[in-house]
A = this chain, B = another copy of it.
Amino acid sequence: MALVLAEHSNEPVDVSRVIRMLLLHDLVEIDAGDTPAFGAQGDKEILEARAAERIFGMLPPDQREMCLELWEEFECSETPEARFANAIDRVMPSFQNIRNRGGSWIDFNVDRTRADARLTPIAEGSETLWNVVRGILDEAEAKGYLKGNES
């Protein structure tokens, strides 16, 4: 997904670094136990930091540093590559949920405000992708997959 959508990043990115960040980030989530985006976040940050130290700590020092740096860069989301990688990571569940009768939006009883809060950071990596996702959220709300704002 990163490979074919890279041209929609707000800023030019080195796609290879984006792909490495996404892969390493998923390894850490697998080790820590993935926390659903709309579930209780609990000790997620602490568990993932420990997992990163544990698994990358098995590598020789130079590779340990390279992996930890890429993982931290992804987590901080302050470089063009990290912003775009985070956008890709957040986009995917929307594509799944709209095809899956609401998926995790239904499971966690999510309303539009919470979905927006989770997904607006996509715009920091790609305005284009955020516009697509906003359209998906509109459709999801219309179909009742996503509760309307309770205001």
Q: How many copies does the complex hold?
A: 2
A63-B16 in contact (CB<8A): no
Q: How many chain A residues touch B (Cβ–Cβ < 8 Å)? A: 10
Query: Taking the complex as formed, is A76 at the interface, i.e. its CB lies under 8 A from any CB of chain B?
Result: no
> With a CB–CB cut-off of 8 A, which chain B residues contact A16?
15-16, 19
Partner of A23, one of B19, B59, B63, B67: B19
Q: Which residue of B lies closest to A60 (CB)?
A: B4
A33-66 toward B: CB 8 Å interface, digit per residue (1/0)? 0000000000000000000000000010001000
Tell me the chain A residues, 1-53 only, with Cβ under 8 Å from chain B: 3-4, 15-16, 19-20, 23
Residue numbers of A with Cβ under 8 A of B are 3-4, 15-16, 19-20, 23, 59, 63, 67
- What are some 11 contacts across the A-B interface (CB < 8 A)? A3-B20, A3-B23, A4-B59, A4-B63, A4-B67, A15-B16, A16-B16, A16-B19, A19-B19, A19-B20, A19-B23
